[in-house]
Amino acid sequence: MTPPSRHITLKDLARELGVSTASVSNAFNRPDQLSPRLRERILSEAQRLGYQGPDARARTLRTGRSRIIAVVLAETLTYSLNDAVSSELLTGIAEVLDDHGHTLLLLSGRQPGSRQTSGTASMADGFIVYGLMPSAMLLNELPAQRPLVAVDFNIDGQPMVHIDNEPASHAIACYALATPPRRIGVLALRLTETPCNGRVTEEQPWLTAERTITRARLDGFHRAFEEHGIDPAAVPVWNIEENTHDICAPVIASILDLPDDERPDLLLCMSDRIALTALTLAEQRGLRIPEDLRLTGFDGIAEGQYRSPRLTTVRQDSTEKGRITARMILGLVPAEPSLLATELIVGESCPYRVTFGLTNPATQSLRCTANLGGNGAGRRPLGGVIDRVIEDHADNPLNLDIA
Q: Is 243 inside a domain boundary?
A: yes
Q: What would the mean pLDDT of 222-239 be, rounded to a whole number? A: 95
Question: Does residue 313 carry a pLDDT above 70?
Answer: yes
Q: Is 62 inside a domain boundary?
A: no
Residue, of 47 and 136, whose pLDDT is higher: 47
Residue 106 and residue 131 in one domain: yes
Residues 147, 128 contacting (CB under 8 angstroms): no
- In this prediction, residue 196 has a pLDDT band, given cuts at 50, 70 and 90, of confident
Residue 39 and residue 80 in one domain: no
Question: Does residue 37 carry a pLDDT above 70?
Answer: yes
Q: Is 330 inside a domain boundary?
A: no
Q: Sheet containing 338-340: which strands, arranged edge to edge?
A: 103-108, 68-73, 126-130, 148-151, 160-163, 338-340
Distance between CA atoms of residues 121 and 117, nearest Å: 6
Instruction: Provide, for the chain, the percentages of residues in helix, strand and coil under a 3-state DSSP scheme, each rounded to the nearest 5.
Output: 40, 20, 45
Distance between CA atoms of residues 13 and 136, nearest Å: 47
Q: Is 209 inside a domain boundary?
A: yes
CATH classification at residue 25: 1.10.260.40
CATH classification at residue 72: 3.40.50
In the prediction, which pLDDT does 143 show?
73
Residue 250 and residue 125 in one domain: no
Average pLDDT of the residues of the chain: 80
In the prediction, which pLDDT does 112 show?
52
Residue 189 and residue 272 in one domain: yes
What is the per-residue pLDDT across 77-109, written as a single tens digit (0 to 9) for each?
888 889 999 999 999 999 999 999 899 999 887
**DSSP β-ladder status, 338-340 and 160-163:** parallel
Residue 295 and residue 195 in one domain: yes
Residue 103 and residue 125 in one domain: yes
Question: Does residue 232 carry a pLDDT above 90?
Answer: yes
In the prediction, which pLDDT does 267 show?
98
Helices 21-29 and 10-17 sit at what angle, rounded to 10 degrees?
Answer: 110
What is the per-residue pLDDT across 113-172, written as a single tens digit (0 to 9) for each?
554 455 677 788 899 999 877 666 667 777 778 889 999 988 888 899 999 999 999 999
Domain of residue 138 covers: 68-146
Q: Is 293 inside a domain boundary?
A: yes
What is the per-residue pLDDT across 15-27, written as a single tens digit (0 to 9) for each?
888 888 888 877 8
Q: Is 381 inside a domain boundary?
A: yes
Residue 134 and residue 184 in one domain: no
- In this prediction, residue 284 has a pLDDT band, given cuts at 50, 70 and 90, of very high
Residue 184 and residue 312 in one domain: yes
Dihedral angle over CA of 206, 382, 159, 63, nearest 10: 140
Residue, of 309 and 398, whose pLDDT is higher: 309
In the prediction, which pLDDT does 136 show?
65
Distance between CA atoms of residues 221 and 216, nearest Å: 9
- In this prediction, residue 291 has a pLDDT band, given cuts at 50, 70 and 90, of very high
Residue 286 and residue 352 in one domain: yes
Q: Is 346 inside a domain boundary?
A: yes
Residue, of 53 and 171, whose pLDDT is higher: 171
Residue 339 and residue 380 in one domain: yes
The SS3 call for residue 45 is helix
CATH classification at residue 173: 3.40.50.2300
What is the per-residue pLDDT across 347-398, written as a single tens digit (0 to 9) for each?
999 987 644 333 333 333 344 443 343 443 333 322 333 333 333 333 333 3
Concatenated DSSP letters of 182-236 = SSEEEEEES-BSS---EEPPTTSPBPPTTT-HHHHHHHHHHHHHHHTT--GGGS-
In the prediction, which pLDDT does 281 show?
97
Q: What would the mean pLDDT of 280-301 be, rounded to a whole number? A: 95
Residues 109, 167 contacting (CB under 8 angstroms): no
Distance between CA atoms of residues 401 and 403, nearest Å: 6
Question: Does residue 345 carry a pLDDT above 70?
Answer: yes
Q: Is 402 inside a domain boundary?
A: no
Residue 182 and residue 304 in one domain: yes
Residue 253 and residue 376 in one domain: yes
- Overall domain count for the chain: 3
What is the per-residue pLDDT across 368-379, written as a single tens digit (0 to 9) for each?
443 343 443 333
Of 111, 146, 181, the residue that ends a domain is 146
**Angle 349-354-357 (CA atoms, 0-180°, nearest 5)?**
120
